[in-house]
Amino acid sequence: MKLTFLGAAHEVTGSCTLLENDGKLALIDCGMEQGADIYENAPLPVPVREIDYVFLTHAHIDHSGNLPLLYKNGFRGTVYATKETCNLCDIMLRDSAHIQMMEAEYQTRKAKRAGQSSFEPVYTLEDVAGLLSLMRPCDYGQRIPVNESMSIRFTDIGHLLGSACIEVWLSEGETEKKIVFSGDVGNTDQPIIRDPQTVGETDYLMVESTYGNRVHEARADPVGLLAGYIQETLDKGGNVIIPSFAVGRTQEILYFIRQIKNEGMVKGHDGFPVYVDSPLANEATAVFLQCDTSSLDEETQAVMASGQNPLVFDGLHTYISTEESKQLNFDITPKVIIAASGMCDAGRIRHHLKYNLWRKECLILFVGFQAEGTLGRIILEGAKTVKLFGDQIAVKAQVAMLPGVSGHADNPGLLRWIGGFTKKPEQIFVNHGDDEACEAFAGCLREERGFQAFAPYSGTVYDLKKGEFIYVAQPVAAKKKAAKTKQNMLLDNLLAAIHRLFAVAESCGGMANRELLRFTEQVNQLAEKWRK
């Protein structure tokens, strides 16, 4: 009866914890790290093929993203998750695999030019298909026997459609213990999904601390603020660029814009266009619209009961192809563009930033947490220039954060949720927060609420049966990645320049034939010169 902390220890992403009980092994989440890697994660202390179960709190990639890699390395157990989490993982993990495969293909092309060996993707679509075949959909509120000595129950935690805290009952010999894994505790009064539900009692609790040392700004009206930002930007003739997480946050923003349009809150721009430029976001929206309505809050249920679609409105365009995405940057009509990724580290949002960051009439509106080291965090903290596709891009656009839309509970919200336990936990483990947030929230729980609380580093092991630490790990700084050579950087710049030339060529529709011939001749002359 033992707990080993692996991922999201004094870090915000990469959630992964190993639970051992009566000879059986279970992982709680198996997430991918995103943003800066601050601390080294301890390796999984057992062979992957020996893991019997995964208990998945929700579908976000920092909690689910390494599951296909687990399958690739030999895992053939059962993944327990809510029905909606299974549905979202179907699209999110396939999208992640596509990104891994594209990145490996790109790196392989670069390696071959340098006479080096090819790159293998972290995992493939085949690995995702194998993993999905192991998933078992579960209902909220149902106690599920996993084996003779372990059972689990999922309770809605209000962070994302299908998200849950997981109660785990354990027995080993004469000893019985219960531990609760919070997953990501949701904020209250979010659109579409329900508020976090409380749990009665537990012996042990592992709780996240993303905003454990912070208090969200006073609850402003996000709809009114968003309408104001859109009004101001469209009046200036600019674009509103919203980097948004494809699953969860994009649907919330669509819900807000539907209300803005229905109530005529933006004046003088009737029917202003809104583009969701993300295949993943569009698939996720379909999952939201087709889910069991009992997973939705009362307000959203009322909208649907009135015959309205809560996420669709006049002027909404959903783009799938890259050709459509590229054309957006040559359309001068003031518009709202919602694109992933939410932290600007990948995806189509980077192209939209490249074409809009330098325009002072535009707005870059962040609507979610920006992890340390991500491009989104760099822009939000006031960078004057950023590098995109080999180019230095000046940041002249207005940069803002929409308050009141965080998907995570803040310090009071976390304390309120923990206060819902009728039995005081013997020990609380604090994770899923940066170094400062973890330590501050653990201190708050000890000093202000009288709990036994500790924020373990990766590699720490706790004996749940004896109620004591077996090993307390010390922080180990992550190794820095080797810097690019100057030659590789220059090659990246060349490829970026060719990308720009290609974009210019695509925009030449309608040009006079004489000019097209002249342009073609110049490009061919340039290619011939450098081929020699």
We report the CATH number of the domain holding residue 368 as 3.40.50.10890
260 and 125 together in one domain: no
Which tokens is 329 given?
């940057």
What pLDDT score does 15 carry? 97
Picking from 354, 383, 401, the residue at the C-terminal end of a domain is 401
Query: Is 85 a residue whose pLDDT tops 60?
Result: yes
73 and 104 together in one domain: yes
Cα 209-213-219 angle, rounded to 5 deg? 95
Residue 445: strand, helix, or coil: helix
272 and 147 together in one domain: no
For residue 477, is it within any domain?
no
Residue 436: strand, helix, or coil: helix
For residue 476, is it within any domain?
no
Nearest of 155, 176, 170, 168 to residue 206 by alpha carbon: 168
Q: Determine contact, residues 242/395, Cβ cutoff 8 Å.
A: no
For residue 229, is it within any domain?
yes
Q: Determine contact, residues 182/205, Cβ cutoff 8 Å.
A: yes
What's the pTM? 0.82
Model confidence over 160-217: pLDDT tens digits? 999 999 999 999 999 999 999 999 999 998 899 999 999 999 999 999 999 999 998 7
Query: Is 492 a residue whose pLDDT tops 60?
Result: no
For residue 343, is it within any domain?
yes
User: What percent of the chain has pLDDT above 70?
Assistant: 94
Residue 290 burial (CB < 10 Å; 0-12/13-18/19+)? exposed
Query: Is 486 a residue whose pLDDT tops 90?
Result: no
For residue 12, is it within any domain?
yes
Strands 16-21 and 24-30: antiparallel
We report the CATH number of the domain holding residue 76 as 3.60.15.10
Residue 157: strand, helix, or coil: coil
What pLDDT score does 483 carry? 42
Picking from 401, 431, 449, the residue at the C-terminal end of a domain is 401
182 and 63 together in one domain: yes
For residue 95, is it within any domain?
yes
Amino acid identity for residue 182 in this structure: S
Mean pLDDT (the chain) is: 91
- Mean pLDDT along residues 410-415: 96
30 and 169 together in one domain: yes
Model confidence over 341-364: pLDDT tens digits? 888 988 899 999 999 999 999 999
Q: What is the rounded distance in angstroms from the CA atom of residue 521 to the CA atom of residue 232?
A: 44
Query: Is 484 a residue whose pLDDT tops 50?
Result: no
Q: What is the rounded distance in angstroms from the CA atom of residue 123 to the CA atom of residue 60?
A: 17
What pLDDT score does 218 carry? 73
448 and 391 together in one domain: no
Number of domains in the chain: 3
Q: Determine contact, residues 452/228, Cβ cutoff 8 Å.
A: no
Picking from 419, 440, 471, the residue at the C-terminal end of a domain is 471
Q: Determine contact, residues 39/459, Cβ cutoff 8 Å.
A: no
519 and 505 together in one domain: yes
Place of tokens 């594209």: 102
Which tokens is 529 given?
């010169």
Strands 385-388 and 24-30: unpaired
For residue 425, is it within any domain?
yes
Q: Is the peptide bond before 15 cis (omega within 30 degrees of 0)?
A: no
Find the range with the poorest average confidence among 37-41, 168-172, 273-277, 506-510: 506-510
For residue 29, is it within any domain?
yes
Query: Is 507 a residue whose pLDDT tops 70?
Result: no
- DSSP per-residue codes, 322-386: HHHHHHHTT--S--EEEES-TTSSSSTHHHHHHHHTT-TT-EEEE-S---TTSHHHHHHTT-SEE
Q: Select the more confidently predicted residue: 455 or 346.
A: 455
38 and 145 together in one domain: yes
Strands 175-181 and 204-208: parallel
Q: Is the peptide bond before 341 cis (omega within 30 degrees of 0)?
A: yes
What pLDDT score does 497 carry? 60
- Mean pLDDT along residues 47-74: 96
What pLDDT score does 231 carry? 98
Model confidence over 275-296: pLDDT tens digits? 999 989 999 999 999 998 888 9
Q: Determine contact, residues 244/250, Cβ cutoff 8 Å.
A: yes
Q: Select the more confidently predicted residue: 423 or 48.
A: 48
Containing domain of residue 143, as a range? 2-215+406-471
Cα atoms in the Cβ-side hemisphere of radius 13 Å centred on 81:
32
Q: Determine contact, residues 132/90, Cβ cutoff 8 Å.
A: yes
139 and 195 together in one domain: yes
Q: Determine contact, residues 347/278, Cβ cutoff 8 Å.
A: yes
Q: What is the rounded distance in angstroms from the CA atom of residue 361 to the CA atom of residue 363?
A: 7
What pLDDT score does 118 carry? 82
Q: What is the rounded distance in angstroms from the CA atom of residue 470 to the CA atom of residue 467?
A: 9
What pLDDT score does 217 carry? 78
203 and 57 together in one domain: yes
User: Maximum distance among all alpha carbons in the chain?
Assistant: 88
137 and 251 together in one domain: no
Which tokens is 277 given?
């430029």
Instruction: List all residues 6 or more positions away from 398 whose beta carbon is below 8 Å from its beta carbon.
Output: 233, 360, 362, 363, 364
Query: Is 485 a residue whose pLDDT tops 90?
Result: no
Model confidence over 291-345: pLDDT tens digits? 988 889 999 999 999 999 999 999 999 988 888 898 998 999 999 999 988 889 8
User: How far is the first Cα of the chain from the last one, in angstroms, to the nearest whole number?
Assistant: 68
Model confidence over 226-254: pLDDT tens digits? 999 999 999 999 999 999 988 989 999 99
- Mean pLDDT along residues 7-27: 96
